[in-house]
């Protein structure tokens, strides 16, 4: 099926025919894990639908479509932010008030499934639509499916084509050696010697996520398959952090080059020639600098060194193991995991849809960064991979930062992070 805006509205029950998939009752063998009638009041905890626009989409379109197919279910929404989500869940657990349905970040399933907070989902839900294997990996723990992907947020490299042309550079770098040399060529300083344009801005995204992207491009791993052994403290992890120190030393990058949230990025301002980016930058460019897209001055590519790699973050939807209305909760999980729910959610955020079925949608065709990401999902890698992730993830940025600001060497910072991670794993 080709997904257009009209077909999505129709499927949501907002056109002539309501065709939202699998909402009247749990599908497959889900009765075994979600017995009972599809009825009752259930709660949804979500960081995904921010602001009035997000609320209008969820409560004005998606939930009414769900209600149309499930008239005996009422959904109470609890909005939060990604920054506050972990604390919100922890507080809910402590109070015995875990939401029936919760939206979680990539890497979060192992910690909460390990604590038996989440209920397993029928594995046949993983076959309803066309999923890239690497998209489903973060939804599983101990061989079981615990969540359905909704939207993805990938980390790619964006660059100014016009600045490349001025420097006589005809193609993006193929590896880190080229990246470093091009960064030197593209950097500019003012008369006082202060950087006015960095050749490469790796610090435009979260330092944890940037380092992970470079680790994966260096063919490294965070943990082993069991989630019990640290793997990032080898040469590949150290080299990934060392590259940041090298481009600073080259005077082609600067950790102080920052843009305030919501303001034009260094790439938009012409203060960087290459920049680590979230795929949502396309939407920001359309709003703030549409001329850069219209004049084809901005491009994007997948980071590569030993292998090409694209960090895949995103949001998944899961069911609480303690829900008193399990069938109703699972019906909502299944509904939120349909293309008809995913497409408008991705579109309002500039995110990558979690299903490959939407490759032919108008939205994907018109968003160059989303299309690049969706076409390269086989190169996607995810953070997490251990039940101790929620503790470890909070320590990565602050530990790596000690090397970036010159307090430690790259190896010392990675060794310290490895020790902190081993301690966290030992407490499982």
Write the DSSP string, 278-336.
ETTHHHHHHHH-HHHHHTT-EEEE--BSSSB-EEEEEEEEEEBTT-SSHHHHHHHHHHH
The confidence score (pLDDT) of residue 5 equals 45
Pairing label, strands 188-189, 380-381 = unpaired
For residues 328 and 38, the answer to whether their CB atoms sit within 8 Å is yes
- Are 335 and 391 members of one domain? no
Q: Where are the beta strands (DSSP E) in 47-108?
A: 73-79, 101-105
3-state SS class at 381: strand
Query: Which residue do the tokens 């499934």 mark?
Result: 113
Encoded tokens for 327: 């069938």
Full domain range(s) for residue 46: 5-153+313-380
Domain count, the chain: 2
What are the CA-CA distances from residue 77 to residues 59, 103, 297 (Å)?
9, 11, 41
Paired with 81 in beta bridges are none
- Bridge partners of 212, per DSSP, are none
Residues 30 and 83 placed together within one structural domain of the fold:
yes
pLDDT at position 180 = 98
The answer to whether residues 328 and 40 touch, using CB atoms and an 8 Å cutoff, is: yes
Which residue, of 380, 403, 418, is where some domain finishes? 380
pLDDT in tens, the chain (428 residues): 555 544 444 444 433 323 333 333 333 333 336 888 999 999 999 999 989 999 999 999 999 999 999 999 999 999 999 999 999 998 988 888 899 999 999 999 999 999 999 999 999 999 999 999 999 999 999 999 999 999 999 999 999 999 999 999 999 999 999 999 999 999 999 999 899 999 999 999 999 999 999 999 999 999 999 999 999 999 999 999 999 999 999 999 999 988 887 899 999 999 999 999 999 999 999 999 999 999 999 999 999 999 999 999 999 999 999 999 999 999 999 999 999 999 999 999 999 999 999 999 999 999 999 999 999 999 999 999 999 999 999 999 999 999 999 999 999 999 999 999 999 999 99
Q: 271 and 412 share a domain? A: yes
Gap between the Cα atoms of 71 and 68, Å rounded: 6
Same domain (yes/no): 202, 247: yes
CA distance linking residue 415 with residue 34, whole number of Å: 45
Whether residue 342 is found in the same domain as residue 233? no
| Whether the Cβ atoms of residue 414 and residue 237 lie closer than 8 Å to each other | yes
* Residues 276 and 333 occupy one common structural domain: no
Q: Are residues 98 and 222 in the same domain?
A: no
244: left (phi over 0), alpha (psi -120 to 50) or beta: alpha
To which residue do tokens 């006589």 refer? 168
What region, left, alpha or beta, does residue 273 occupy, with left being phi > 0 and alpha being psi -120 to 50 degrees? alpha
Quick check: 232 and 391 in contact, CB under 8 A?
no
Whether residue 319 sits in one domain with residue 184: no
Would you state the structure tokens that stand for residue 322, as one six-digit string?
């303690």
| 352, containing H or E segment | strand 352-353
CATH number of the domain bearing residue 280: 3.40.190.10
- Coil, helix or strand at residue 153: strand
- SS in 3 state form for 168-207? CCCCCCCCHHHHHHHHHHHCEECCCCCEEEECCEHHHCCH
26 shares its domain with 161:
no
- Distance from C-alpha of 28 to C-alpha of 252, rounded to nearest angstrom: 55
Q: Minimal CA–CA distance to 283: which of 350, 369, 352?
A: 350
Give the whole-angstrom CA distance, residue 281 versus residue 344.
17
For the record, the structure tokens of 265 come out as 């990025």
Q: Are residues 241 and 368 part of one domain? A: no
Cα 12 to Cα 9: distance, rounded to the nearest angstrom? 5
Same domain, 98 and 113: yes
332 shares its domain with 274 = no
């Amino acid at each position: 099926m080709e997904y257009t805006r009209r077909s999505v509205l129709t499927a949501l029950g907002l056109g002539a025919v309501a065709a939202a998939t699998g909402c009247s009752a749990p599908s497959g063998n889900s009765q075994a894990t979600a017995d009972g009638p599809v009825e009752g009041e259930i709660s949804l905890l979500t960081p995904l639908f921010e602001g009035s626009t997000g609320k209008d989409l969820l409560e004005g379109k998606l939930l009414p479509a769900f209600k149309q197919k499930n008239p005996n279910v009422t959904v109470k929404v609890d909005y939060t932010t990604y920054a506050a989500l972990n604390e919100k869940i922890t507080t809910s657990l402590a109070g015995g008030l875990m939401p029936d349905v919760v939206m979680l970040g990539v890497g979060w399933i192992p910690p909460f499934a390990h604590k038996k907070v989440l209920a397993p989902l029928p594995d046949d839900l993983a076959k309803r639509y066309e999923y890239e294997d690497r998209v489903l990996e973060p939804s599983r723990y101990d061989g079981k499916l615990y969540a359905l992907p909704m939207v993805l947020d990938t980390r790619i490299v964006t660059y100014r084509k016009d600045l490349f042309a001025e420097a006589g550079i005809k193609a993006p770098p193929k590896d880190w050696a080229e990246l470093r040399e091009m960064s030197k060529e593209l950097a500019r300083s003012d008369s006082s010697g202060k950087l006015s344009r960095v050749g490469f801005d790796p610090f435009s995204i979260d330092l944890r996520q940037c380092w992970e992207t470079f680790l994966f491009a260096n063919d490294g791993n965070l943990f082993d398959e069991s989630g019990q052994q640290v793997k990032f403290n080898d040469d590949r992890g150290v080299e990934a952090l060392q590259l940041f120190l090298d481009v600073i030393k080259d005077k082609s990058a600067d950790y102080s080059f920052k843009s305030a949230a919501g303001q034009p990025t260094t790439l938009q301002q012409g203060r960087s020639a290459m920049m680590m980016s979230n795929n949502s930058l396309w939407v920001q460019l359309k709003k703030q600098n549409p001329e850069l897209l219209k004049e084809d001055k901005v491009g994007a590519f997948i980071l590569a060194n030993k292998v090409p790699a694209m960090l895949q973050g995103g949001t998944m939807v899961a069911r609480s193991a303690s829900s008193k209305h399990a069938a109703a909760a699972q019906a909502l999980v299944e509904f939120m995991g349909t293309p008809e729910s995913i497409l408008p959610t991705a579109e309002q955020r500039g995110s990558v849809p979690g299903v490959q079925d939407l490759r032919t949608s108008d939205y994907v065709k018109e968003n160059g960064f989303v299309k690049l990401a969706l076409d390269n999902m086989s190169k996607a890698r995810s953070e997490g991979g251990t039940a101790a992730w929620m503790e470890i993830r909070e320590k990565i940025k602050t530990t790596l930062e000690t090397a970036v600001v010159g307090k430690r060497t790259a190896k010392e910072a990675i060794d310290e992070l490895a020790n902190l991670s081993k301690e966290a794993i030992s407490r499982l």
